[in-house]
Structure 1
Amino acid sequence: MALAAAAAFTMTGPATTASAINKVTCNPGAGYLKIWSHMNGRDSVDCYANRGKTNFGNWWVDKISTGNNDVKYYDANGDVVKINRGKTISYPNRPPKVKAIEIL
């Protein structure tokens, strides 16, 4: 019986395994995806962790720092842009309007 329980746990893994992207507190040096954005006169700086995809609400992105993550963003024009880990990109003149972000 104990062997069967151990086998089941090994196949499914611990219940606390992260399975979806989530917004986290921006901690310097943590390696999170960090996005500076604006919309309707409001500025925002948000950080994300864990693999997955989430809605970004069509905010204009001014800067992206991928941290330890390979990232894709989906812009309002239908383009999908992949950015490799360890990159920081600024968009000072023509920021993309982003519908969704994904950590790969």
Structure 2
Amino acid sequence: MISKIKRAVCSMVAAFAAAATLTVGVPSGSAYAIDHVQCVGGENFLKIYSHLNGRNSVDCYANAGKTNFGGWWVDRIVTGNNDLIYYDANGDSVRINRWHDITFPNHPPKVASIQIL
């Protein structure tokens, strides 16, 4: 009886070890890590012109992923070679395809987060 229990425990330990090895050893797909990068002329980064509380900002982003944008008011978006979704403070999401340059002169959106696809 004890040998049956011992065999069952050994089998469970072996199964757990195999599962742990596969979990650690097999990549889980693409990693998404959007990066806030230095704006460089001639590069096709996502470029966002924005303002908040009397301050203006121009920010560039590269690589797929999603990041917080802090509720800044967006005046202009140049997508470069990136497909973009921005999430505004009202909970709406807007997709903008690559190679677009969009301005919001009268009613800029207040953007909560951005996502490069």
Larger C-alpha radius of gyration, 1 or 2?
Answer: 2
Question: RMSD of the TM alignment (CA)?
Answer: 1.3
Aligned partner of 1:69: which letter? N
Q: Secondary structure of the residue that 1:93 maps to in structure 2?
A: coil
- Higher strand share goes to which structure? 1
1-side partners of 2:95 and 2:77: how far apart?
A: 12
Q: Secondary structure of the residue that 1:60 maps to in structure 2?
A: strand
Among 35, 40, 59, the residue aligned to 1:27:
40
- Higher helix share goes to which structure? 2
Identity between Structure 1 and Structure 2 (%): 64
Query: Does structure 1 residue 87 correspond to structure 2 residue 100?
Result: yes
1-side partners of 2:42 and 2:95: how far apart?
A: 22
- Structure 1, unmatched stretches of 5+, are 1-10
1-side partners of 2:59 and 2:76: how far apart?
A: 11
| Aligned match of 2:5 | none
Deviation >6 Å, runs of 4+? none
Aligned partner of 1:70: which letter? D
Q: 1:64-86: CA deviations, max 9, x gaps?
A: 00000000000001110000000
The higher relative CO (CA closer than 8 Å, separation ≥ 6) is in: 1
TM-score, L = length of structure 1 = 0.83
CA displacement at 1:18 relative to structure 2: 6.5
